[in-house]
Amino acid sequence: MDARAKTGVSIRSAGKRYGPVVALDDVSLDIEPGEFVSLLGPSGSGKTTLLGILGGFVQPSSGSVWVGERDITFAPPHKRNIGIVFQNYALFPHMTVGENVAFPLRARREPKAGWAKKVADALAMAELSGYEGRNIAQLSGGQRQRVALARAMVFEPQLILMDEPLSALDKQLRETMQIELRRLHRKLGATIVYVTHDQREALTMSDRVAVLKNGRLVQIDTPERLYDRPCDAFVASFIGEATLLNVSRAGEDAVRLGDAVLRTAHPLPRGERLLLAVQTEKLVIDGGAAHDANRLSCRVTEVLYQGESLRVFAALADGTSISLRQPGNHDARRRIPSPGEPMTVVLDPQDTIVVPA
């Protein structure tokens, strides 16, 4: 097995209890070498506990953790060859940038003669060449984040763990850093496990996203499949801006919503209690061109201007509320009826997603 193949991670039936409280419940997850996997979920879902078990800061009550062919379940953090980027970066303010980045090499007692090149290479990877002598206080939030990343990479770890490293940044910088981290990941080829509660961040950066709820792994999939094919109502409501509507079965490939019958291109789940998960941007105002689309008649109740888009709220004949998001350009704005006026919206069968209630 080559060195790169040894950087895959396998979490096997991991569990963690704090007395009667179950923080993590029988989670199994295989991460491929070089893969970027995000752990996504609300507070208390178990994502930080799982990251702590990977890093060696939390001892599991059950299960095991493997990196390649090595069982690291009870290995101390400094014996795991894992780089970690914390939420607050955890940089040493009394050290220069270069000293901060070199700290893991010192802690591992690597030969000092090789420090300068490794630090320079790590800073170049993070696009901070020439910053070795600067003080941490002189850096912006984005630069500090990149220093923390360089420090995590400097000793060429098998695995990099990131615990909400962008949460302290403002919205614009956070979105810029998401793209930069994604680009750096492609350049490094490192295996990365990333904790976040931000759905858009997880979808933007990840090869796959693992959604957790109440300590259990609910679904792991590519961003596209997670968004387009949620496995249940929780994932559908947590990812994006889905409206969940009660529907009834109307055949093998259709459901009934009020007076309308909606066809779906996907197999219906088992059971009688079904929900239609409608993402706001999948509903489109009827322009007459889509012949095979599902159509819903409604009445506009409110239009909210939100800069790049408009959020349109409407009510079906039975009073059920739906919403759709339209582009904020003037052409789209002209097509939106005023509050109180009727409107027909269309939903493609490919976008007609039905989940168990």
Across 275-288, average pLDDT: 89
Across 20-41, average pLDDT: 96
At 196, is the pLDDT very low, low, confident or very high (cuts 50, 70, 90)?
very high
At 338, is the pLDDT very low, low, confident or very high (cuts 50, 70, 90)?
very high
Q: What pTM value is reported for the model?
A: 0.87
4-227 shares its CATH topology with 241-356? no
How far is the C-alpha of 90 from the C-alpha of 113, rounded, in Å?
A: 26
Chain CA centroid to CA 143, Å: 23
Helices (H), the chain: 47-55, 97-107, 115-125, 141-153, 171-188, 199-205, 223-228, 233-238, 330-335
Say if residue 120's pLDDT is above 80. yes
Say if residue 290's pLDDT is above 80. no
How far is the C-alpha of 92 from the C-alpha of 210, rounded, in Å?
A: 32
101 within 8 A of 129, measured Cβ to Cβ:
no
156 within 8 A of 191, measured Cβ to Cβ:
no
Neighbours of 134 (CB within 10 A): 15
Q: Which helix (H) or strand (E) holds 179?
A: helix 171-188
Say if residue 4's pLDDT is above 50. no
Say if residue 85's pLDDT is above 80. yes
Contacts of 111 (CB under 8 A, 6+ apart): none
Q: What's residue 272's pLDDT?
A: 85
Chain mean pLDDT for the chain:
90
For the chain, the C-alpha Rg in angstroms (whole number) is 24
Which structure tokens are listed for 173? 């910088």
Residue type, 219: Q
Q: Where are the beta strands (DSSP E) in 174-318?
A: 191-196, 208-213, 216-221, 242-249, 254-257, 260-263, 274-279, 284-285, 294-305, 309-316
Say if residue 288's pLDDT is above 80. no
State in words which class domain 4-227 has.
Answer: alpha beta
How far is the C-alpha of 210 from the C-alpha of 140, rounded, in Å?
A: 31
* Residue of 239, 322, 336, 181 whose CA lies nearest to 42: 239
Q: Where are the domains of the chain?
A: 4-227, 241-356
Any idea which fold 241-356 has?
OB fold (Dihydrolipoamide Acetyltransferase, E2P) (2.40.50)
Residue type, 105: L
Q: What is the DSSP letter of 231?
A: S
